[in-house]
Amino acid sequence: MRISDNEIKKILGNEPTIVKAIVEIGDAHDKKRDQDLVEQLTADVVAMPDREDIVADLKARIQAGTYNPSGDEIADAMIRRSIADRIR
């Protein structure tokens, strides 16, 4: 399961705190580079398709019998769900 739009809005609503926390991880890193990375990742997440579009595509693939997730895809979804749950 992908991180929902509501979860993304929660993340964006707290963006300064999240950006600050991520940038402060390890003083050895270039803080400007880290902040730029966080901002780019945030923009990438916002640009992702809406949940409704993803669900509609998935339903169509299931009905057509073409939905066959790999073990890697399932593991990836589990990891993303775990991350989303920790953000809440």
DSSP state letter for 25: S
Residue where the block lists tokens 């940038």: 23
Domain boundaries, the chain: 5-87
Q: What is the pLDDT of residues 10-65, one digit of tens each?
A: 666 665 666 666 666 655 556 677 788 888 888 888 888 888 888 999 999 999 99
Pick from 4, 36, 35: nearest CA to 20:
35
Return d(Cα 1, Cα 75) in angstroms, integer: 11
- Asked whether the predicted pLDDT for residue 9 surpasses 90, the reply is no
